[in-house]
């Protein structure tokens, strides 16, 4: 069972999480809204849709989808006990959270065997290409025909000259949005690690040795090809800001 915390404590750390994430994704709220647009369209004719959020972390996307689609069952999957505890407390029952590791097949038995949509943001890049291909094949069987997979992440184009420009555009957008002085990832983790009230969860996280490499470096086109090979009828980017994309697969 996912641990719960004092609401005020969780709310404070979630606010700080949102701010540090905007340092890297200045258009983060728009990215969430675009994913919401795609999912809402896919489930428009479904009475009680089921949506999975893979690598949900502290529930940023899950919570926003729950507000937008109150009739939906939103299930967030992650293996980080600290982030799951923050999420479970902050979103107060609006989302179901599952403690499971996406790099194994164990998580599949913990979710419904048919879903209407699967989403993810800034998470699946840590899976090695072979593991990601396996995950996409799993989704090809899990998502119903007409359902969707949406992934928001920094994805390269595969062309070095263009990739250099998209990173330049990302930095320019961050400067114009006024987020360049936000707390960064390392500072946030150092600060929460020093919070003694969270010591048991920090220890649990350390025991799992949670660490991910930066990126599998797959391009947006390579992701789309893997989705088609996994059984999705169409796949490609529907939104881009610098190197940040929303990639969609239609089952």
So what's the pLDDT on residue 43?
Answer: 98
How do beta strands 234-241 and 244-250 pair?
Answer: antiparallel
193-221 confidence digits (pLDDT tens): 999 999 999 999 988 866 555 678 899 99
Residue 3 has pLDDT above 80, yes or no: no
Q: How far apart are CA 178 and CA 176, in angstroms?
A: 5
Q: How far is CA 56 from CA 100, 182, 194, 208, 213, in A?
A: 11, 22, 23, 17, 17
Residue 119 φ then ψ, to 5°: -130, 165
E strand or H helix at 218 = none
Question: Minimal CA–CA distance to 62: which of 35, 44, 82, 42?
Answer: 35
72-101 confidence digits (pLDDT tens): 999 999 999 999 999 999 998 999 999 999
Give the side-chain half-sphere CA count within 13 A for 131: 12
231-242 confidence digits (pLDDT tens): 999 999 999 999
Q: What does the longest C-alpha to C-alpha distance in the chain come to?
A: 49
Q: Are 235 and 248 in contact (CB under 8 A)?
A: yes
So what's the pLDDT on residue 21?
Answer: 97
Show the tokens assigned to 164. Answer: 């250099």
Q: Are 122 and 154 in contact (CB under 8 A)?
A: yes
146-159 confidence digits (pLDDT tens): 999 999 999 999 99
Q: How far apart are CA 77 and CA 62, in angstroms?
A: 10
Terminal-to-terminal C-alpha distance of the chain: 32
Question: Minimal CA–CA distance to 43: which of 77, 75, 68?
Answer: 68
156-200 confidence digits (pLDDT tens): 999 999 999 999 999 999 999 999 999 999 999 999 999 999 999
Mean pLDDT of 51-63: 98
Q: How far apart are CA 164 and CA 157, in angstroms?
A: 10
Q: How far apart are CA 36 and CA 32, in angstroms?
A: 6
Per-residue DSSP letter, 98? E
Q: How far apart are CA 43 and CA 246, in angstroms?
A: 18
């Amino acid at each position: 069972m996912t641990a719960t915390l004092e609401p005020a404590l969780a709310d404070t750390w979630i606010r700080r999480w949102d701010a540090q994430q905007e340092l890297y994704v200045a258009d983060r709220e728009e990215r969430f809204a675009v994913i919401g647009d795609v999912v809402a369209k896919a489930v428009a004719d479904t009475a009680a849709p089921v949506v999975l959020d893979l690598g949900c972390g502290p529930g940023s996307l899950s919570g926003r989808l729950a507000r937008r689609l109150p009739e939906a069952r939103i299930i967030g999957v992650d293996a980080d006990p600290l982030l799951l505890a923050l999420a479970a407390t902050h979103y107060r029952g609006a989302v179901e959270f599952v403690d499971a590791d996406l790099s194994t097949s164990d998580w599949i038995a913990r979710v419904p065997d048919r879903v209407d949509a699967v989403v993810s943001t800034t998470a699946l890049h840590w899976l090695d290409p072979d593991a990601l291909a396996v995950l996409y094949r799993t989704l090809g069987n899990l998502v119903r025909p007409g359902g969707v997979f949406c992934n928001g992440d920094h994805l390269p184009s595969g062309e070095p000259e263009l990739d250099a420009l998209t990173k330049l555009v990302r930095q320019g957008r961050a400067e114009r949005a006024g987020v360049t002085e936000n707390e960064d990832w390392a500072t946030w983790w150092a600060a929460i690690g020093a919070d003694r009230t969270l010591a048991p969860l920090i220890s649990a996280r350390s025991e799992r040795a949670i660490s991910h490499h930066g990126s599998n470096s797959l391009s947006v086109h390579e992701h789309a090809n893997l989705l088609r090979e996994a059984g999705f009828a169409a796949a490609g980017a529907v939104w881009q800001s610098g190197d940040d994309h929303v990639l969609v697969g239609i089952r």
